[in-house]
Structure 1
Amino acid sequence: MKCLTTVFLLCISITVFSQTNFQGKAVYQSKTTVDPNFGGKQLSEERKKQILKRMKNMLEKTHVLSFTRSKSVYKEEEKLETPGTRGGFRFGGFTGGGVLYKDIIKGDLLESTEVFGKKFLITENEEKPKWELGSETKQIGNYTCFKATLLKKTTAFDWRNMRRRNQKDENKKDENKKDTSNVKKVIDDVEIPKEILITAWYTPQIPVSNGPGNYWGLPGLILEVNEGRTTVLCTEITMNPSEKIEIKEPTKGKEITREEYNKVVKEKMEEMRERFRSRREGNNRGGRSFH
């Protein structure tokens, strides 16, 4: 029965794919959850709620993927600020947004983004991701989707995958640590895993090897991605719209490779951390009294 279903879906895919004006748009909603105990006992529950409210625009986003057979543009959809979150919450100076262009035939990715007040044009050439295809299926809207998994390396500043350190390790560290000021930074409580397991759901009914963000390489459009604490779900698809879709490469920003970009961000974050440490130590010295 499963084989017949697969053959039927492939027949539909071939019919759609054979259309000369094959193109479409897919809307994705992404949501990132955070550890409800972030900050530990250092922050009150009321303060945590205030921070989460201000982080809402960063944790919940809407993107639109415009695609043809071989190319796509993935762009964040602009939205009005939620009352009470004016200015939003910026993590480490990031402003977010940007445009991601993909050429899945050549494996070229081109991302225009702004970070720390500077615009960059990140260029990279990726090999086809080594997905492990599964037989499990589920329905997403009107589409039958198949499961695929991928082991992905993380970067040292991937805040979405931050997690609290192992409590046993923390207790041992605290025992060996002599801190007369009895002050502990929140950032010391978190860590980022070196790699995470990505789960994707793709549909052969839309035969493009594409998907949200930098995910691609499956025999069908990816409709859902689960990456650590982040879930990206397709909520709307428009195939062959009456208005022709134009896929343009982004051109704004200083051209830089992904490796160079990661190095710049890492250095900036280390600078910010040092400034934070210096400010904190200055406040501690200023608050001491001498007899």
Structure 2
Amino acid sequence: MKPFLSFFFVWFSFKATAQETMEITYQVLPILIEDDKEEEGVYTYFKLSLNENYSLYEYIERIQNDQDLGKSYGFIRKTGILQKDLKNNEFTENINIYGQDIILQDNLPEYPWKLEKETKNILDISVRKATALLNDITEITAWYSPNLPAKHGPEIYSGLPGLILELEIRTDYGDILEVKRYTATEIEVKNKELKTPPLSKKGKRMSLKEYQEFHKEQDQRFHELYNSGVDKD
């Protein structure tokens, strides 16, 4: 990884050149916490390719050699390409999740971000903390870099005054705390133009609200199955 000052220079060169694309690799880890016992799922990897106003977010296929593939919750993931258009405040995504194909289209959500004073370094880049409450059971912590002023992030998360390099979503179901952690592991600037891939027309069309209701219903089914398989003795 390049030193911070070198990377800082590369970023401004990147912004001035329409033919270049920044690529960020995120490592995603699901965690289940029950009775103060933490169980990690299977790592997955995603790539965020972006310019100032537009981004593509897609799953990276990797072979898992050293993890327990029996932890099925690690495989309950979205696959496909998510396209974000910050200029027009909209996104589109082809999703295959829980075995169902979905075409998700909607405006980008506005998160109630609260900017904090806490800072740290990720990949030798200074980042600042931001938090948001999504609902009564879900809270988000993000770490973003004001020195990388693209307002992008993993999944559909955006809207901070800088690129999100780490994101943690914590959902408290009462008996189980579900954590999903995204961490940037690599940043590159490539000499290529960001091109829009064709979207698949296969699947059921949903708004974000409809998808969240579907996801909540499937999550509840999963947790019921998970609890029924846990030895309580």
TM-score under structure 1 length normalisation: 0.60
Q: Is 2:186 the counterpart of 1:244? A: no
Larger gyration radius, structure 1 or structure 2? 1
Deviation at 1:260, TM superposition (A): 2.5
Corresponding residue for residue 58 of structure 2 = 75
Paired residues of 2:102 and 2:206 also in contact (CA < 8 A) = yes
Paired residues of 1:22 and 1:69 also in contact (CA < 8 A) = no
Corresponding residue for residue 261 of structure 1 = 211
Corresponding residue for residue 229 of structure 2 = none
Paired residues of 1:17 and 1:207 also in contact (CA < 8 A) = no
Question: Structure 2 residue aligned with 1:17, among 15, 18, 21?
Answer: 15
Query: How big is the alpha-carbon RMSD for the aligned residues of Structure 1 and Structure 2?
Result: 3.5
1:1-291 equivalences under 5 Å are: 16-35=14-33, 37=35, 56-57=41-42, 60-82=43-65, 89-91=71-73, 94=76, 96-153=78-135, 194-228=136-170, 229-239=179-189, 241-248=190-197, 250-251=199-200, 252-265=202-215
Distance 1:137 1:94, change over 3 A: closer
Partner SS for 1:261: helix
Q: 1 CA distance for matches of 2:8 and 2:221?
A: 53
If each structure's strand is expressed as a fraction of its own residues, which one has the higher value? Answer: 2
Q: 1 CA distance for matches of 2:51 and 2:152?
A: 9
Paired residues of 2:91 and 2:107 also in contact (CA < 8 A) = yes
Instruction: Please tell me the residue identity of whatever aligns with 1:63.
Output: F
TM-score under structure 2 length normalisation: 0.73
Question: Residue deviations 1:7-34, cap 9 Å, x none?
Answer: xx99986665333335210001122222
Deviation at 1:95, TM superposition (A): 5.9
Distance 1:30 1:247, change over 3 A: same
Q: 1 CA distance for matches of 2:115 and 2:52?
A: 21
Count residues in correspondence.
211
Q: Which runs of 5+ in 2 are unaligned?
A: 1-6, 171-178, 226-233
Distance 1:116 1:201, change over 3 A: closer
Q: 1 CA distance for matches of 2:111 and 2:132?
A: 8
Q: Which runs of 5+ in 1 are unaligned?
A: 1-8, 41-47, 154-193, 277-291
If each structure's helix is expressed as a fraction of its own residues, which one has the higher value? Answer: 1
